[in-house]
Structure 1
Amino acid sequence: MFALIFSPLSYLRIRHESKWITDWVYPLVFSTVSVALIFAFGEKGAISGRDGLIDRLLLVSSVLPGFYIAA
């Protein structure tokens, strides 16, 4: 049972010379570009307003544990 619970942590044992690119560079670049696009082209309230990005992310993150438990 513990092996199943801690199996996602086995990703940390992977050793490769370019793993840091996948772990750090790609997320940093994509998040920076996404935030820049939202601020450049998004309307006022698109991030924190009603039906904004944060509101929708909170909705999705509140539903995800149910899917994880069901799986």
Structure 2
Amino acid sequence: MLTDAIHRFVRGPGGIEVVTFCADHPGAAASGARVFYERLGFTPGEATDPGPEGGSRQIYRLAVG
């Protein structure tokens, strides 16, 4: 499972942050990235700078420890 791989390569305490589409972005549903990160245990955080096309982005975090 991917979460096992994450914990094998990332030693805590610490965390992993990723940036993905905000829920209002058309690519959010098409890519499935938000659901993917949530299934891995990431939690949604604050909005961040727009992507290169100007679309909204959001930070997701996973605590490792």
TM-score by length of 2: 0.28
TM-score by length of 1: 0.26
Higher relative contact order (CA 8 A, sep 6+): 2
Larger radius of gyration: 1
